[in-house]
């Protein structure tokens, strides 16, 4: 069995490589970007013919949320058209597609944990193009898992945790938004979930939510980062309106994980526990 990983050099791709190594899994093929362009159908055709993959994990995406407001067509090409290309070849080869999506497909105007069947209403170009990527998959294959996740971080690439640690060392005070509520997701945990889906051989295809347990605001998340890492910096809570951005973010994007826990028997760690693990690993790298 071979498992193709697209977007292998990104945050989640690197986490998949780490978890696969820890589990002794040798089936994953981490493709170099030059060889694995999801916008190149001819290249994809050659890859699928060569590897005849049982699974395809798509970690490739346009994720510059604010920049996407100005680069609409580029974001759409990657997040919709690239996914369509993968779905088409997965359908032709009987390959199971695992597509990573986002909480940004929701408007986030409620106050109850979001289930997979809740109404989608993205507020940003990024959210819209990721939703378009979700919707195009069933046109080509019924053998897919769409995993919506949120607030992804890890030891790898750029993310909120690493940015806060950097700024915390440089400044005496940080202003952080407190009126956006969601759940951080340790990308190592998400990678473990993906490999568990594959190892289980589950045929319960469809859309699922995955994040760590619990909920928090960006302000409380930042405060926890500084407390656990023993970084001496003052955090000041501010409203979203005090920190304007091009793209509108969901105010409440806590996702209900009941479906994936039931289907896979997963025990999902609380966000604070996983944050402690990540910070501990980061400390050994510094």
So which residues are the catalytic ones?
126
CA distance 280 to 273: 11
CA distance 118 to 65: 22
Name residue 177's beta-bridge partners: 238
Cβ proximity of 125 and 70 under 8 Å? no
DSSP 16-69: HHHHHHHHT---EEE--TTT--TT-HHHHHHHHHHH--SEEEE------TTGGG
Which of 3, 87, 91, 92 lies closest to 38 in space, CA to CA?
Answer: 87
CA distance 200 to 260: 13
CA 120 to chain centre: 17
Which residues in the chain belong to E strands, given as ranges? 3-6, 28-30, 55-58, 96-102, 144-149, 152-153, 173-177, 181-182, 185-186, 206-209, 216-217, 234-238
CA distance 10 to 279: 19
Distances (CA, A) of 5 to 9, 185, 197: 10, 20, 15
DSSP state at residue 213:
B
């Amino acid at each position: 069995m071979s498992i193709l990983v697209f977007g292998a050099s990104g945050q989640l791709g690197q986490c998949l490589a780490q978890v696969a190594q820890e589990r002794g899994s040798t089936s994953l093929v981490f493709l170099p970007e030059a060889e694995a362009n999801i916008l190149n159908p001819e290249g994809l055709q050659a890859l699928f013919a060569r590897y005849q993959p049982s699974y395809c994990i798509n970690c490739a995406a346009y994720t510059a949320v604010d920049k996407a407001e100005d680069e609409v067509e580029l974001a759409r090409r990657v997040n919709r058209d690239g996914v369509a290309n993968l779905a088409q070849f997965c359908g032709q080869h009987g390959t199971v597609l695992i597509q990573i999506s986002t909480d940004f497909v929701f408007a986030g105007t409620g106050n109850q944990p979001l289930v997979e069947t809740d109404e989608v209403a993205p507020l940003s170009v990024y959210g819209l193009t990721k939703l378009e990527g979700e919707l195009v998959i069933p046109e080509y294959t019924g053998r897919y898992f769409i995993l919506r996740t949120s607030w992804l971080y890890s030891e790898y690439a750029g993310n909120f945790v690493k940015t806060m640690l950097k700024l915390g060392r440089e400044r005496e005070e940080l202003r952080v938004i407190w009126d956006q509520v969601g759940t951080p997701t340790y990308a190592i945990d998400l990678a473990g979930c993906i490999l568990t889906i594959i190892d289980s051989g589950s045929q319960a295809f469809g859309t699922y939510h995955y994040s760590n347990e619990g909920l928090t605001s960006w302000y409380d998340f930042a405060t926890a980062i500084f407390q656990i890492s023993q970084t001496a910096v003052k955090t000041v809570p501010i409203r979203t309106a005090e920190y304007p951005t091009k793209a509108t973010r969901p105010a409440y994007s806590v996702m209900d994980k009941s479906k994936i826990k039931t289907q896979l028997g997963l025990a999902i760690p609380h966000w604070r526990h996983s944050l402690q693990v990540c910070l501990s690993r980061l400390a050994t790298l510094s």
